């Protein structure tokens, strides 16, 4: 895969991702984030593969994709934890 093709795929994936996430209502965003953490694990594997491409462009794009996917996975787990804490029963103190 050439660097131009890798850059094209990266830009298209970013645009499509922003469009899809931008159309999701706020009420559904947190449950969907918790469901998509596994998909982002696959994205991380793809970013590692892209970082291993020959030439500096593959390494740069792969590193950017890896950082973005890792932030997204971490944020998804934080949001899921926060959502689950909202639904826990609070102990009543006398």
DSSP 2: -
Structure confidence at residue 74 as a pLDDT band (50, 70, 90): confident
Count of structural domains, the chain: 1
**Residue 9: which of 71, 41, 53 has the closest Cα?**
53
What is the model's pLDDT at position 30? 60
Residue 37 lies in a domain: yes
pLDDT above 80: residue 94: no
pLDDT above 70: residue 6: yes
Q: What is the mean pLDDT of residues 15-19?
A: 78
- C-alpha distance from residue 91 to each of 13, 40, 53, 94 (Å): 45, 35, 54, 10
Q: Domain containing 73: what range? A: 30-86
Which residues lie closer than 8 Å to 65 by C-beta, 6 or more apart?
10, 43, 46, 47, 50, 51
Residue 81 lies in a domain: yes
Cα–chain-centroid distance for residue 18? Answer: 11
What is the model's pLDDT at position 2? 75
Q: What is the mean pLDDT of residues 36-56?
A: 76
Residue 76 lies in a domain: yes
Residue 48 lies in a domain: yes
pLDDT above 80: residue 70: yes
Please compute, for residue 81, the number of CA atoms within 13 A of its CA located in the half-sphere on the CB side.
Answer: 6
pLDDT above 70: residue 35: no
Query: pTM to 2 decimals?
Result: 0.55
């Amino acid at each position: 895969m050439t660097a131009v093709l890798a850059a094209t795929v990266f830009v298209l994936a970013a645009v499509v991702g922003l469009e899809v996430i931008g159309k999701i209502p706020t009420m559904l965003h947190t449950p969907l984030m918790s469901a998509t953490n596994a998909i982002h694990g696959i994205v991380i594997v793809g970013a590692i593969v892209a970082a291993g491409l020959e030439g500096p462009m593959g390494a740069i794009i792969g590193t950017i994709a890896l950082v973005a996917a890792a932030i997204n996975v971490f944020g998804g787990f934080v949001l899921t934890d926060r959502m689950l804490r909202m639904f826990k029963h609070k102990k009543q103190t006398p």
